[in-house]
Chains A and B, each alone.
Chain A
Amino acid sequence: MLIINCPYCGARPELEFAYGGQAHIDRPVQPADLNDEDWTGYLYLRENTKGIHAERWRHLHGCARFFNALRDTRTDHFLATYKVGEKAPEVTRP
């Protein structure tokens, strides 16, 4: 089980969290202006990175807040967690 460091509550077991998928996907400012290709990208296309992945987590059974994390999907090692609205920190692989 992963130990995840909630930026608000500290390190907690994975069971307390819900996964929110790829982070930093902005909702379209003018949805009416999007064509079908843009909608496809927004709704369905994901990086599915093998490597360092910026992703959303929610501390569902704790503070219930969303936050972001950098995790290496080759090892499941968490490199950083940070609050929504913040930029992803610079990290180097361990």
Chain B
Amino acid sequence: MQRFSALSLLRHGLGRHQGWKPQWRNAQPKPGYDAIIVGGGGHGLGAAYYLAKVHGITNVAVLEKGWIGGGNTGRNTTIIRSNYLFDESAALYDHALQLWEGLSQELNYNVMFSQRGVMMLAHNIHDIQVFKRHVHANRINGVDNEWLTPEQAQEFCPSLNIDPNVRYPVLGAALQRRGGTARHDAVAWGYARAADALGVDIIENCEVTGIRRDANGAVLGVETTRGFIGSRKVGVSAAGHTSVVMGMADVRLPLESYPLQALVSEPVKPIFPCVVMSNTIHAYMSQSDKGELVIGAGTDIYTSYTQRGGLHIATHTLEAICELFPQFRRMRMLRNWGGIVDVTPDRSPIIAKTPVKGLYVNCGWGTGGFKATPGAAHLFAHTIAKDEPHPINAPYTIERFRDGFMIDEAAAAAVAH
């Protein structure tokens, strides 16, 4: 692996930048591996990286039906935060946030993690009570979160309209200063490059079409569009298509897949210094380093695999944005798109073993998987390598729905889902 540094940049500059090599190999599938990860998004590539790095399992393949980072990793609004209500959630998401804080150095790849602060607006009494409860719960769990008055919120984000005479006035805000954004593509590429350097095969254009099992039901490997690939351990990290892949092994999961839309504006000069979210009117926004305003909408109301959604969903969000930030009324939107998100009944993920021996699953991240990428990958690798969950993901089983131990972030949502 060519390491990136100021010195290497200088050296390649002297060579007119002709000496850079591809950052990972174009690997061809081998007949067998010690572990296979299905899904080449940030979660899957990261899991392969941690399998190799932390657990010494380097004979690993990542199978991706399209191109790496082309699913939800490349379709989200890149927001990172850990201000979740319940103890299990705070542990999980803050584990991820702590890994984010060192990720660029660890991967020798600039993932452009920017702790610019995530501010959640309160528009009514209910919001105030819920957010203050979150602030207190977070602080007890060692997660930073603080309450701001409308004036303090405007000081933090000068574009914010705190006029009391609007449809949804800002009555206060909860601010997590350690939250922020990262460059989503760089996360996939950084993990791919680092995993490849440790020996992991990243195989694109390779769709899994079946899961082969022995007489006792244990996993033997996967059938793919590029032939059979053997492995006694298969980890599925396929986001919206998890139900489809797991169905190949007759495992039913409490998941439903919905389109979730996002959109970006034309690029403009730096004007928006942080991430602002509003649950009540359902909008969230930040500005990318390229200058585009990155705006997230809600899910469509019906299940779908189409990676698009109704325009009225995006319109609804833009109306809210224009109310909160009147100066953006005349901005033009450049692109919008959808991703397919797998939603669980309690809106918390599943990172667990399954009833099938050798089959593991990391799914159910719903509308908020990007922020958890390093943490989910790290814990999923642990679960696969040790054949048992890490204490942090131990509560995130499939069986919690049967046993009634849900982690109900749907009811406690710090953000609308």
Contact = CB atoms under 8 A, between A and B. Distances in A.
Interface of A: 1-2, 14-15, 18-19, 21, 36-37, 39-41, 43-48, 50, 53, 55, 71, 73-76
A62 B397 CA distance: 41
Interface of B: 241, 243-244, 252-257, 301-306, 310-312, 342, 345, 401-403
Nearest to B304: A73
A40 B401 contact: yes
Contacts of A45: 252-254
A55 B302 contact: yes
B254 to A, nearest CB: 4
Contacts of A44: 254, 345, 401
A50 B85 CA distance: 33
Given A19-B301, A73-B303, A73-B305, A50 B244 contact: yes
A74 B254 contact: no
Contacts of B256: 21, 46, 48
24 contacts: A1-B310, A14-B301, A14-B312, A15-B312, A21-B303, A36-B403, A43-B401, A44-B254, A45-B253, A45-B254, A46-B254, A46-B255, A47-B243, A48-B243, A48-B255, A48-B256, A48-B257, A50-B243, A50-B244, A53-B303, A55-B303, A73-B305, A74-B306, A76-B306
Nearest to A77: B306
B385 to A, nearest CB: 28
Given A36-B402, A43-B401, 12 more contacts: A14-B312, A18-B301, A40-B402, A43-B345, A46-B254, A47-B243, A48-B243, A48-B342, A50-B257, A50-B305, A55-B302, A74-B305
Nearest to B342: A48
Contacts of A39: 402
B210 to A, nearest CB: 15
Nearest to A4: B302
A18 B300 CA distance: 11
B305 to A, nearest CB: 5
B311 A1 contact: yes
B236 to A, nearest CB: 14
Contact of A75 (B243, B301, B306, B310): B306
A37 B302 CA distance: 26
A50 B312 contact: no
Contact of B310 (A2, A41, A74): A2
B404 to A, nearest CB: 9
A14 B342 CA distance: 22
A48 B230 CA distance: 28
Contacts of A76: 302, 304, 306
* Closest 4 pairs (CB-CB, A-B): A44-B254, A48-B243, A40-B402, A19-B301
B265 to A, nearest CB: 22
Contacts of B243: 47-48, 50
A56 B345 CA distance: 18
Most buried by B among A2, A41, A74, A76: A76
A37 B304 contact: no
A74 B255 CA distance: 17
Contacts of A53: 303
A68 to B, nearest CB: 13
B303 A48 contact: yes
Nearest to A71: B302
A50 B241 contact: yes
A16 B342 CA distance: 25
Contacts of A15: 312
Contacts of A71: 302
Nearest to B398: A40
A1 B254 contact: no
A48 B257 CA distance: 7
Contacts of A1: 310-312
Nearest to A38: B402
B241 A14 contact: no
Contacts of B303: 21, 48, 53, 55, 73
Contacts of B402: 36-37, 39-40
Nearest to B241: A50
A94 B312 CA distance: 26
A40 B52 CA distance: 36
Max chain A C-beta neighbours (<10 A), residue from B303, B304, B306, B401: B303
Given A45-B252, A46-B256, A48-B256, A14 B401 contact: no
B301 to A, nearest CB: 4
